[in-house]
Amino acid sequence: MCVYLFRDRFQFSATVSIMFSVLRLLRKRVRKCRKWSFGRDLYLTVNKAKDEVSMLVAAKTSGATPLVIACRNGHYDVAEYLIKECHADLEQPGSVIFDGETIEGAPPLWCAAAAGYLYIVKLLVSHGAKVNTTTRTNSTPLRAACFDGHLDIVKYLVENGADIEVANRHGHTCLMIACYKGHIKIAKYLLSLGANVNRKSVKGNTALHDCAESGSLEILKLLIEHGATMDVDSYGMTPLLAAAVTGHSHIVEYIIKIPHLVSRREKIDALELLGATSVDKKRDMIGALELWKRAMNERYHGDGPLIPKHLTQAVAAYDFAREITDPEQLDDLMADPDQMRMQALVIRERILGPAHPDTSYYIRYRGAVYADAGKFNRCIELWNYALDMQQSVLDRLNPMTQSSLFSFTELFSFMMGEEGKQTTRGRVVPPVDVLEILHVFRKAIKEVELGEKC
């Protein structure tokens, strides 16, 4: 049975115990067999032990059957024995771990496909395993193979009837995950089969969005060649803006050079947003200034009429910073890094809007940086602004809002415990203003009360 091939000690011991339970049942009967009739009597023995064997191979250890464990770990001999001799259920799912994440309801075929064991995939399919069976989240074996780039398994499953358009519960297709993970050969293969290049997920993103977010330029070019369009997701984000948010400048530079894909205004927004990302994510102040200058030049001196900037009201949390509209003022920003960081927050909020997760995320991030520097009041000011923003646009008891409230509890707890002590930056931790605690506490109560009414 090759049980010695198991590498995981826990799975090894669990499966070995099951296997040897089966063997003990058989051994009691085999001992009674005469040597000359061993084969005949063993056949009768297996038949007599059928119920016991079925029960054992269907039993789960840590949520997984022996067959699921064997397929997950690539143990062909064990899988073959369980299928041929023990008649294990090919569709009985189990719980398995991939990359630290527990996958619930994973059938044996899904496990083998995800782990990249083509020979076990063939074994299962040849014995009648359903190629379009899914996990609890509606992920197919084909999508699992696409996730980790197992092209040979992808082709085999498709040749045996796998549906390339079955999406998971988030509406994310095989093409989308191949694009996001950067598997260009799989993307090419799926496109050659006629995969829907402009299909949208539940949140409205397309394969082009996934390419832009992951930085896969070659796949992005491939999708455009196959008719991919620059559509918006549920946040109003185009793939161009998605690339700018994640900081993939090579994607941004490629897309803005294709006139039929983007408008002049979209090009300007992308350059400005990429500049904001350069400040907060890459800490590249000089690069950000260059991007903002390019955007400003396109806005005021590009082909066509001047495109005015919609200026928002000054916000106290941003230190009343206003967006700069003059190239000379941009140069002055280099002398004041703090104002440059506020400029990035103002630009991001204008372009993405308050509902986009990155808007509040980077406000909170900047606040955390201030706290690390010992500027606790600035942190509290920014975090309160982000919390107000979340409570005004997000659903009640949204995980993002809960995270903001939890961050406040950690901050206040730290300040009370370290009051009067010096931080690593040499600043003294000030006492917590009780009014600030009450202010946040009222927001927490409001969130809970409104959440109960929903």
- Rounded to an integer, what distance in angstroms lies between the CA atom of residue 339 and that of residue 382? 14
The CATH number given to 1-163 is: 1.25.40.20
Amino acid letter, residue 388: D
Q: What is the pLDDT of residue 360?
A: 97
Round to the nearest angstrom and report the end-to-end CA distance of the chain: 56
Residue entry with tokens 């496109």: 191
* Same fold for the pair 1-163 and 171-234: yes
Q: What is the pLDDT of residue 37?
A: 37
In the predicted model, residues of the chain with pLDDT beneath 70 are 1-49, 454
What's the pTM value of the predicted model, to 2 decimals?
Answer: 0.85
Selection from 241, 231, 234 nearest residue 269 by Cα: 241
Q: From 1.10.3720.10, 1.10.3210.10, 3.40.50.1820, 1.25.40.20, which CATH number describes the 171-234 domain? A: 1.25.40.20
Tokens of 111: 């496990």
CB neighbour burial string for 345-366, b if at least 16 within 10 angstroms, e if fewer? bbbbbbbbeeebebbbebbbbb
Q: What is the pLDDT of residue 41?
A: 39
Q: What is the pLDDT of residue 451?
A: 85
Please report, for the chain, the start and end positions of each structural domain, with discontinuous segments joined by +.
1-163, 171-234, 239-346, 354-454
Q: What is the pLDDT of residue 222?
A: 98
Q: What is the pLDDT of residue 25?
A: 47
* CB atoms closer than 10 angstroms to residue 410: 10
- Rounded to an integer, what distance in angstroms lies between the CA atom of residue 79 and that of residue 77? 5
